């Protein structure tokens, strides 16, 4: 006998249109062999997203919370985008990390569902308001080198001569991606892992904020409206803040000096305090859900160990040493934040500028203030470079040349080549002798 579907799942997580089969459309794309022409696969992927979007258009849905006027202007569109951003930012997924599953369904899932509906309505208005003669779906060029999400990100960062077409295209791309996110969201059930649920909801929140912010900026530039820069945190600024928090966490623990048996309890208490500080930071919401999960599990194990007694038993000491080792490994995993595309591109650009300063300065000249400020933006990128940054004051350009060149060369293989850029990686010419020949 087939199990009955839980009514909570049916109401909040599995709306009727989920059963109309959009999974089959995406499965058709994923099932194509890799040897298929790349541009064909890209076109199929775009068509699949468009099909999912059309199914969403045709399906019944719950009304969102935003009221949209019948007549749209640039001012009303900007207000709607900012209201959408406020709604997304109000969704606090860390609050639900230890909540009951029914609370997650009744509160978080409902908020995300409404956010997705509001986002689609606002983006649809934007797309149609700025639509040019050619439909947006016909203007999306093939980009087989990138995944769909990365292609959407790159479109957000491009400058276009036709501002209306650009806004319409971005809105169309955003609607297609969010339709796929909606599909993933509505496949969640009560039996889904709690952290999987939070990960899907957090991704929806981030993407809505990113798309709405980019479109807000584009519409403001197009209509001559002031863009409220201070309201928003760029993706790069967010990643820089997260990396800095990870570096602070690592440095507080002094992981290069393992604790002795006598100081094990004190050092692990410091770990607990550092974990609590990290959880309380504003950027905690922007941490990867997998990092937050490991952090919470480590915190739970740590609290359990601190409650144990006696602390001098061999078993407790062995467990404490394993806990310390796991903490050190976790701190190392956190530094994979450096794999984020925006950090790679940022660090590469900063290192290029520093390298130019090295090439133009005297080797024995002390580092200028601007060079030191630029170096500080790279803290956490590389251990050897970090050591140079910490002793930057009083250092000379020759002392930072080797680590800067090493990291720059490594990052140069991970970013797109820039025409006309001279990395100045050849050996520096020796300074002229004081006595002329």
pLDDT in tens, 343-378: 999 999 999 999 999 999 999 999 999 999 999 999
**What pLDDT does 342 receive?**
87
Q: What are phi and psi of 120, to 5 degrees?
A: -65, -40
**What pLDDT does 51 receive?**
56
Contact 334, 247 (CB under 8 A): no
pLDDT tier at 189, thresholds 50, 70, 90: confident
Q: What are phi and psi of 157, to 5 degrees?
A: -95, -5
**What pLDDT does 129 receive?**
87
Q: What are phi and psi of 366, to 5 degrees?
A: -70, 150
Average pLDDT across the chain, whole number: 77
The DSSP letter of residue 429 is P
Task: Name the E strands within 95-162.
Answer: none
| pLDDT, average across residues 270-294 | 91
Q: Which of 396, 393, 347, 394 is nearest to 374 (CA)?
A: 347
**In a 3-state reduction of DSSP, which class is residue 396?**
strand
pLDDT one-digit tens code per residue, 139-168: 555 443 444 455 555 555 555 445 677 788
In the chain, pLDDT over 90 holds for what percent of residues? Answer: 42
pLDDT for 226 beyond 90: no
pLDDT tier at 132, thresholds 50, 70, 90: low
**∠ Cα 57 67 69 (to 5°):** 90
Length reported for the chain: 437
In the block, residue with structure tokens 């709306």: 15
Report which of residues 428 and 319 the model is more confident about.
Answer: 319
**What pLDDT does 223 receive?**
86
Three state DSSP letters for 344-395: HHHHHHHHHHHHHHHHHCCCCCECCHHHHHHHHCCCCCCHHHHHHHHCCCCC
To the nearest 10°, the Cα dihedral for 159, 165, 169, 171? 100
**What pLDDT does 158 receive?**
58
pLDDT tier at 250, thresholds 50, 70, 90: very high
To the nearest 10°, the Cα dihedral for 251, 256, 261, 267? 0
pLDDT for 96 beyond 90: yes
- Distance (Å, whole) CA 382 – CA 344: 12
> Could you tell me the CA-to-CA distances from 352 to 86, 398, 418 in Å, in that order?
37, 16, 11
pLDDT for 15 beyond 90: no
**In a 3-state reduction of DSSP, which class is residue 218?**
helix
Domain boundaries, the chain: 7-232, 236-339, 341-412
**What pLDDT does 221 receive?**
85
Q: Which of 1-10, 59-68, 255-264 has the lowest mean pLDDT?
A: 1-10
Report which of residues 214 and 299 the model is more confident about.
Answer: 299
- 396 forms bridges with which residues in the sheet? 366
Q: Where are the alpha helices (DSSP H) in 194-263?
A: 194-223, 235-253
In the chain the first and final C-alpha atoms are separated, in Å, by 100
**∠ Cα 234 239 244 (to 5°):** 125
In the block, residue with structure tokens 């010419």: 429
**What pLDDT does 134 receive?**
45
Contact 317, 323 (CB under 8 A): no
pLDDT for 431 beyond 60: no
| pLDDT, average across residues 117-126 | 92
pLDDT for 260 beyond 50: yes
> Could you tell me the CA-to-CA distances from 243 to 198, 342, 408 in Å, in that order?
22, 12, 18
pLDDT for 104 beyond 70: yes
pLDDT one-digit tens code per residue, 373-406: 999 999 999 999 999 999 998 899 999 999 999 9
Structure tokens at 253: 């623990």
Q: Where are the alpha helices (DSSP H) in 130-162?
A: 136-139, 148-157
**What pLDDT does 240 receive?**
92
pTM: predicted TM-score of the whole model, two decimal places = 0.69
Contact 93, 198 (CB under 8 A): yes
In the block, residue with structure tokens 């990867």: 288
Q: What are phi and psi of 396, to 5 degrees?
A: -110, 170
| pLDDT, average across residues 68-82 | 81
**What pLDDT does 92 receive?**
92
């Amino acid at each position: 006998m087939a199990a009955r579907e839980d009514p909570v799942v049916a109401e909040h997580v599995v709306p009727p249109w989920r059963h109309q089969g959009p999974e089959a459309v995406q499965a058709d794309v994923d099932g194509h062999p890799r040897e298929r022409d790349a541009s064909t696969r890209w076109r199929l992927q775009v068509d699949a997203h468009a099909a999912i979007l059309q199914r969403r258009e045709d399906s019944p849905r719950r009304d969102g919370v935003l009221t949209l006027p019948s007549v749209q202007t640039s001012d009303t569109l900007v207000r709607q985008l900012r209201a959408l951003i406020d709604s997304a930012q109000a969704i606090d997924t860390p609050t639900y990390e230890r909540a009951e599953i029914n609370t997650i369904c009744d509160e978080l899932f409902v908020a995300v569902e409404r956010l997705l509906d509001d986002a689609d309505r606002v983006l649809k208005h934007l797309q149609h308001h700025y639509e040019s003669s050619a439909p947006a779906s016909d203007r999306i060029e093939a980009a087989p080198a990138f995944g769909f999400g990365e292609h959407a990100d790159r479109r957000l960062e491009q400058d276009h001569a036709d501002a209306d077409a650009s806004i319409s295209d971005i809105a169309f791309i955003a609607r297609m991606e969010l339709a796929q996110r909606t599909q993933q969201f509505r496949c969640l059930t009560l039996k889904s892992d709690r952290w999987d649920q939070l990960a899907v909801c957090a991704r929806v929140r981030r993407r809505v904020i990113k798309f709405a912010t980019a479109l807000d900026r584009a519409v403001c530039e197009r209509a001559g409206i002031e863009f409220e820069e201070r309201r928003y945190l760029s993706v790069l600024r967010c990643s820089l803040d997260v990396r800095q928090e990870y570096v602070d966490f690592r440095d507080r623990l002094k992981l290069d000096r393992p604790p002795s048996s006598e100081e094990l309890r004190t050092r692990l208490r410091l770990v607990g305090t550092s974990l609590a500080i990290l959880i309380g930071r504003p950027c905690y919401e922007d941490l990867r859900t997998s990092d937050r999960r490991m952090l919470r599990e480590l915190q739970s194990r740590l609290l359990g160990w601190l409650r144990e007694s006696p602390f001098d038993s061999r078993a407790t000491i062995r467990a404490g040493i394993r806990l310390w080792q796991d903490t050190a490994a976790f701190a190392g995993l956190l530094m994979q934040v450096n794999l984020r595309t925006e950090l790679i591109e940022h660090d590469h650009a900063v290192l290029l500028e520093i390298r130019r300063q090295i090439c133009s300065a005297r080797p024995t000249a002390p580092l200028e203030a601007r060079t030191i400020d630029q170096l500080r933006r790279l803290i956490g990128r590389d251990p050897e470079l970090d050591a140079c940054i910490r002793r930057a004051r009083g250092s000379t350009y020759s002392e930072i040349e080797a680590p800067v060149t090493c990291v720059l060369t490594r990052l140069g293989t991970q970013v797109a080549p820039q025409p006309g850029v001279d990395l100045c990686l050849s050996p520096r010419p020796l300074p002229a002798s004081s006595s002329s020949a």
